[in-house]
Amino acid sequence: MKHSKKIKLVLDLLKDEVKGDTKSALKKITKDYTMTWVYKSKDGLFPTEKVKSENDIKDIYNIKRRKYEIKNIAEGKDVVMIEMIESYPDPKTKKVFKTPLVIVLEFKNGKVRTGRHYCDPRISFMNLSKREISKIYKNNNEKRIIIK
């Protein structure tokens, strides 16, 4: 399947994250990149992370055996939206957590400038089964793109 430059860049950025390749990831984002989580956390409403160096993303990129199962991708002029299931093991218990989420990434000058991460953090650590996840995709449970 052929993808646009923006979608290819986003898929490569997700691959960088899975591999833990912070250097490559930083080449795909702008110097003023931010990611906002669209929920309420213990730190407040809509926590936002600014990424200016490898140090800012090393904790996120350090998660081993992460996997993304991408269900849908949509794009507009300067935006890519991805619906996916993120899976990652708890380092202590080895339980695999699966989080359904949507990420919206906005572009500037061919790089990702900002993102919004939509999920329900209350279910992010519930160890959802494949059967439970399949309820989300009643009419479309096929795997589209797997990044691991």
Residue 142 is predicted with a pLDDT of: 65
Query: Using one digit for the tens of pLDDT, what is the confidence trace for 39-96?
Result: 988 888 998 888 777 676 766 666 778 899 999 999 999 999 999 999 888 878 888 8
pLDDT at residue 38 tops 90 = yes
Are 121 and 41 in contact, with CB atoms under 8 Å apart? yes
Q: What is the pTM of this model?
A: 0.86
Q: Determine the pLDDT at residue 9.
A: 96
Residue 126 has, within 13 A of its CA and on its CB side, a CA count of 12
**Measured distance CA(43)–CA(75) in Å, rounded:** 31
Q: What is the pLDDT of residue 97?
A: 86
pLDDT of residue 127: 81
Q: What is the pLDDT of residue 113?
A: 97
Write down the pLDDT at residue 34.
93
Question: Tell me, what's the pLDDT at 59?
Answer: 66
Name all domains of the chain by residue range, CATH numbers in brackets: 5-147 (3.10.450.50)
For 82, residues 6+ apart whose C-beta sits below 8 A from its C-beta are 10, 14, 70, 72, 73, 102, 103, 105
Angle between helices 5-19 and 54-61 (to 10 degrees): 70
Q: pLDDT of 54-65, one tens digit each?
A: 676 766 666 778
pLDDT tens digits, one per residue of 93-124: 888 888 999 999 999 999 999 999 999 888 88
At residue 68, the pLDDT reads: 92
